[in-house]
Structure 1
Amino acid sequence: MIFPTIARNMLGIMGFPLTLWNLSMNRKNKVNPPGQIIKTSMSEVHAIVTGEGPVTVILEAGYSSISIDWCYVQPEISKVARVISYDRGNYGWSKTKRKTMTSLDSVEEIRDVLSQLKIKPPYILVGHSFGGLSMRLFASMYPDEVIGLVLEDAAHENQYVLSQENRKRIKNFRRLMTAGYVTSLVGIPRMFKQRIGRRFLAKEYDESLNYIGYTLGAYKTAYQEYVDSVTSAQQLVTSKPLRKDLRVVVISAKNQPEGWKKNQLLFTDLTNNTEVIEADTGHSVHLENPKIVIDSILKLINQDVQTEK
């Protein structure tokens, strides 16, 4: 990351008027966080914690996404359980001193948050897209604390392994992320309205997205997270298999490329208790048809209640 950072800073100096304009726009558009800031040993993590119950549901957003991505899901689940969504790295309202952005970093971060909040297991983990990697790693590392796992159109490690099939796609996307990071200080992405984050969110979040989607930290984390994606994939490859009796729900979107769909099939036998749901949506099921995700989580919660009885 050294050379892209040097290039970003040099460009910032050369285009100083643009740098001032971009930084002033960040200050002008600043929006207060909807959740709380939790200080850990490495970070200041923005987390939205709602609801109460015997189970804690952890919501992990996808690549370049944040806590408010779960704006349709979290309120419903909060009626019966405690729910946590948070911003990784420097996404959203979080700030971190971490030098890497791997799936293991994400697991360590959420573990620190749980410790600070004194929230104990059992946990139900929900991971969308890239977030599915860290939630699977969490379940692998702490099998006795996890009672359920929802993988919502989750990325498989094969998506990021440097195979002959993946090299061109990874190289092209990395070039795009590098360009976004290098030009972020002078505000080029802002000029072309290329903000970090997803679409489909409720209108009430437009002001927040217009702020957090253009912060320097957002572009930095998006770049670093993708650079480290090969490492994240390897962390999953070398992780222990999931507990065979773990309840898993795999939600796969129909409207995806064939290569992605092929990798989704690899999730069908993660455990002996894996259910597969095919969603007639695009990649962001939790935003396009949130009921599918909500019902899947509630089913796991209800199953746990029945088990306790």
Structure 2
Amino acid sequence: MRWLIRLAGLVLLLVMIGAGYQSVGTAIDQARYPPPGDLINVGGHQLHLYCLGEGSPTVILEAAGLGWSLYWNRVQPDLAKVTRVCSYDRAGLGWSESGPSPRTGQRIARELHTLLARAGIAGPYVLVGHSLGGFIIRLYRQTHPADVAGMVLVDAGHERQFEQEEFRKFVAPGKIAFPIVGAVTSLGVTRLLMAFDLLPPLFAQQEDKMASDIRPMLRAGWAQTRYFATMADEAAALEETCLQVRRADPLGDLPLTILTATGPTWWPDMPSDLDQVKFRRMWLQWQTDLTKLSTNSRHVFADQSSHFINFDQPELVVGAVREMVERLPQKPAGNT
């Protein structure tokens, strides 16, 4: 019994040390890396909004499931030379506070609309959505079609993806891992591993694409206790998000550009039981299918990119958005 008590005491001590290490590290990061944009209350929690440039239509950047405003760092400054462009952090990511669950696409789209309205960022908008972000901007357009002048889908998801076994194999490890990693992150383990440069391949490759002054901010975002908890919440709601998108209307003749990643490596650490050839064929078919959402669509292939085109070939994202902005009618922004 004495040994059990001592062991329990040791475990409790380690938990307290880990939690303290995480708390102090988070406080240091917050002081060292203040939000570059504005924090806007959207009803119970604040979201971070970062805008650059001037002009209309305003470009709104919606990141992938793993990302936040920093994930557009290689895209946003160049687009700001053409028009106003805004990135933001979904609830629980980057500099934004956590929001209520479930984290479905419809809820996130409502929060985005509230954010833009309260920040005074008026339409029309060109919406740019990467991966999960593609679902969110399609749901945004469903409820506010008059605000949307055009749309760019960057290797976006497809609403019928859960019907395919290979996709379910792809997302299964994350759905299991995110809650576990979230728990150990709260005890400082993730922060400690990053201090020794022990990053998963996916994060390491993303970091390598960023400028040296941005990399510490990326790590600060990944090390937050709420980061992986938010990943778990968004992953848990993904099937419901797909069902919501399936009920959305087609886009009519809305200007639409599809960017598709066709580089040698689509994802650096695919599950071992997944047929990668079958998955890539399936993904390309879905991307082609997305072009049918509008009668005014074009398809661009990123042949040197992984799923993260915004890191690997950001010039393609900039070019696609710039081309759309320049061919849209130039007029003063209206009301949201």
Question: If the length of structure 1 is used for normalisation, what is the TM-score?
Answer: 0.89
- For residues 314 and 290 of structure 2, the distance between their equivalents in structure 1, rounded to whole angstroms, comes to 21
**Paired position in structure 1 for 2:298:** 275
Q: Partner of 1:192 in structure 2?
A: 193
Which residue of structure 2 aligns with residue 176 of structure 1?
A: 177
Q: Secondary structure at the match of 1:268?
A: helix
Which residue of structure 1 aligns with residue 122 of structure 2?
120
User: Would you say the 8 A contact 1:253–1:283 is kept in 2?
Assistant: yes
Partner letter of residue 275 of structure 1? R
Deviation at 1:307, TM superposition (A): 9.5
Aligned equivalent of 1:95, options 94, 97, 118: 97
1:3-152 aligned within 5 A: 15-30=15-30, 31-152=33-154
> 2: distance between equivalents of 1:232 and 1:14?
39
Partner of 1:8: none
Aligned mates of 1:202, 1:13 — CA distance in 2: 38
Structure-to-structure mapping, 1:153-168, within 5 angstroms = 153-159=155-161, 161=162, 164-168=165-169
Q: Tell me the secondary structure at the aligned position of residue 214 of structure 2.
A: helix
Alpha-carbon distance in 2 for matches of 1:179, 1:263? 31
Please give the per-residue CA displacement for 1:95-126, whole angstroms capped at 9, x wherever unaligned: 03312211112211110111112222111000
The aligned residue for residue 231 of structure 2 is 222
Amino acid at match of 1:149: M
Partner of 1:254: 262
Q: Residues 186, 250 of structure 1: CA spacing in aligned structure 2 closer, same or farther, 3 A cutoff? A: same
Equivalent of 2:311 in 259, 268, 287: 287
Over 3 Å counting, the alpha-carbon distance change for 1:288 and 1:143 in structure 2 is same
Shift of 1:173: 2.2
Structure 1: gaps (5+ residues): 1-10
Corresponding letter in the other structure for 2:193: F
Tell me the secondary structure at the aligned position of residue 203 of structure 1: coil
Partners in 2 of 1:303 and 1:66 — Cα distance?
Answer: 28
Check 1:163–1:291 CA distance in 2 against 1; reply closer, same or farther (3 A cut).
closer
How far residue 132 of structure 1 moved from its aligned partner, in angstroms, is: 0.8
Paired residues of 1:62 and 1:128 also in contact (CA < 8 A): yes
Return the offset for 1:42. Answer: 3.1
Q: Partners in 2 of 1:113 and 1:46 — Cα distance?
A: 9
Kindly indicate whether the alpha-carbon contact (under 8 Å) linking 1:42 and 1:96 is maintained by their aligned counterparts in 2.
no
Equivalent in 219, 233, 236 of residue 242 of structure 2: 233
How many residues matched? 296
Deviations 1:234-282 (A, max 9, x none): 110111222x110000010102333322221211211100100111121
Aligned mates of 1:13, 1:212 — CA distance in 2: 26
- Measured in 2, the distance between the counterparts of 1:182 and 1:14 equals 14
Distance 1:226 1:147, change over 3 A: same
Aligned-residue identity in percent? 27
Matches of 2:258 and 2:58, distance apart in 1: 19
Structure 2: how far apart are the matches of 1:69 and 1:163?
28
SS in 1 for 2:178: helix
Residues in 2 aligned to 1:146 and 1:260: alpha-carbon distance in whole angstroms: 26
| Partner residue in 2 for 1:5 | none
Amino acid at match of 1:183: V
Following superposition, the deviation at residue 163 of structure 1 comes to: 5.1
Matches of 2:12 and 2:327 in 1, distance apart? 54
Unaligned runs of 5+ in 2: 1-10, 267-279
Task: Give me the whole-angstrom Cα distance separating, in 1, the residues matched to 2:302 and 2:172.
Answer: 30
Report if aligned partners of 1:66, 1:92 keep a CA contact under 8 Å in 2: yes
SS in structure 2 of the partner of residue 15 of structure 1: helix
Query: 2-side partners of 1:258 and 1:299: how far apart?
Result: 28
| RMSD, matched Cα | 2.2
Counterpart Cα distance in 2 of 1:127 and 1:307 = 23
TM-score norm. by structure 2 comes to 0.82
What letter corresponds to residue 259 of structure 1 in structure 2?
M
Q: Structure 1 CA distance, aligned partners of 2:135 and 2:307?
A: 16
Which amino acid in the other structure matches residue 291 of structure 2?
T
Contact 1:12 1:186 in 2 (8 A): no
**In structure 2, how many angstroms separate the alpha carbons of the residues matched to 1:232 and 1:12?**
39
